[in-house]
Structure 1
Amino acid sequence: MFESNVFNRTSAGEQEISAAAYNITIGLCLFWGFFVNWLMVVNIDPASLTSIPTWMFFIGYFASCFFGMYLFNSSDKPIVSFIGYNFVVVPFGLIINMVVSVYDETLVMEAIRITGGVTLVMMILGSMYPKFFQKISGALTVALLAVIVIELVQIFVFGIHHNWIDWAVAVIFCGYIGYDWGRANQIPKTYDNAVDSAAALYMDIINLFLRILRILGRR
């Protein structure tokens, strides 16, 4: 989980917009990110990605993600934040490309539908009970870090992977979607904050999708 500090903002660096325009902007940014990922899956051969040395791929992946986060966290200009958002979307798209290539298209579409439904439910809950999600935010962070450590140890030390890990991560990112959506609607409603909020939600949703796909794939 890449943490964003956009939700700590208490004052607007630009003129505020209506709640409708704010939420529409978030929605359009999310759509753009998913659309770019779809284009990458359709047009990039996964074999060309697997031919890249693993260390080189992950250095580029993390460098792009962290640079993108730096841009949208530090900027109060929507266009700069949008550029930073794309620096996150592209490396995530490469991961998605490699993952979905090993699954049947029907299974991928089912994972997309489930992820969309769960995301909608968690956004509604995040709007209704923002204080609840704030209370569990610390537990979510601790749980995610613990699960990541356990998963890495299992994979690289013992060469195994327990199925409950995927369920745990999926539940954790469900909580993050509700948490981030609730926080997104508590900060000043500006175009820049909308882009930044969309970036945080995008990462939550993609991580949830990847885990749901893995869970479905075991059937």
Structure 2
Amino acid sequence: MSQKTLVNKNLRFTLSPGQEEIGRRAYNLIIGATLLYGFAVNAVMVSLFQDFFAGINYLALVIGYIVCVLIGAFLTRSDSGLISFIGYNFIVVPLGAMLSVILPYYGTELVFNAVVITGTITLVMMAAGTIFPKIFLGMGRMLFFTLIAVIVVELGAMLIFHRDFAVMDYIVVLLFSGYIGYDWAKANAYRRTVNNAIDSATDLYMDIINIFIRILSILNRNS
């Protein structure tokens, strides 16, 4: 579910023609508001459209999700805040459709517990990224290659052994917890523009959703 290899983040350290920096408070508020918007859209879709998306062929839903995420990842490369926000929606909305199909199988209690645990991890790692930015900024290459290794292992397990390994859920949680600290540290290193705030929120959104899904899987296994 990651778009990290598709986004040219180097552009975020410079100002494009016509862009202006905003205050730190406004910058952080835009990041927070964008994240809350994404989660709110997901919650509404899960609450209101479960039956609708449950009636769609699952393979078609997955293919549509992948296509939309790739489009969203491409659009977030733009230096326009509006286009980046449109790209963000191309990621958030299809993910809401997927969650509408997946979450009913887990039950309200497990979903709530996963939300609480994910929220706690997010706050802790954002605080760590604020306190130790240099440490997290130095973890980028390690996190990237670990992500590639996880993708290869999980694809191999699915295609060759036709199963998943429980330990991978814990590894992914640790990996994307690190990514939260890394992406938050990078967000604070970027030029404070509306576009960078939306792009940073997109990165954090993907980190948080990956953690949430894996936490849900771990809780389900344990129950």
Compute the TM-score of the two structures, normalised by the length of structure 1: 0.93
Higher RCO (Cα < 8 Å, 6 or more apart): 1
**Distance in 2 between residues matched to 1:170 and 1:7, nearest whole Å:** 26
**Please, which of 23, 26, 47 is the counterpart of residue 42 of structure 1?**
47
**Paired position in structure 2 for 1:124:** 127
Q: CA-atom RMSD, angstroms? A: 1.6
Partner of 2:14: 11
Question: 2:70 matched to 1:66?
Answer: yes
Residues 2-58 of structure 1, C-alpha deviations (whole Å, 9 max, x = no match): 11323552222311111000000000000000000001101112574464151x323
Quick one: which amino acid aligns to residue 34 of structure 1?
Answer: F
Out of 147, 152, 158, the residue aligned to residue 150 of structure 2 is 147
Question: What TM-score, normalized by structure 2, do the two folds share?
Answer: 0.91
Cα deviation, 1:128-172, whole Å, max 9, x if unaligned, reads 112211222211111121122211222222122221000001100
Structure 2, unaligned runs of 5 or more: none
Whole-angstrom distance in 1 between the partners of 2:102 and 2:58: 17
Q: Distance in 2 between matches of 1:184 and 1:36?
A: 23
Question: Conserved in 2, the CA contact under 8 Å of 1:154 and 1:161?
Answer: yes
Change (3 A) 1:131 1:50: farther
Distance 1:101 1:187 in 2: 39
Identity of aligned residues (%): 42
**Other structure's SS at 1:16 match:** coil
Equivalent residue runs for 1:162-201 within 5 Å: 162-201=165-204
- SS at 1:15's partner residue? coil
Which aligned runs of 4 or more in structure 1 are off by greater than 6 angstroms?
none
Equivalent-residue separation in structure 2 for 1:18 and 1:94 (angstroms): 35
* Residue 80, structure 1, aligned to residue 83, structure 2: yes
Aligned residue identity for 1:108: V
Matched with 1:96 is: 99
Structure 1: runs of 5 or more not aligned: none
Aligned residues: 217
More displaced, 12-21 or 147-156?
A: 147-156
Partner Cα separation in structure 2 for residue 218 and residue 179 of structure 1: 29
> What does the per-residue CA deviation read over 1:171-214, in whole Å, with 9 as the maximum and x for residues that have no partner?
00001110000000101101111111111110111011000111
Q: Are 2:61 and 1:57 equivalent residues in the alignment? A: yes
Counterpart Cα distance in 2 of 1:214 and 1:46: 22
SS in 2 for 1:20: helix
Q: Does 1:215 align with 2:196?
A: no
User: One-letter code of the match for 1:68?
Assistant: G
8 Å Cα contact 2:53-2:101 kept in structure 1? no
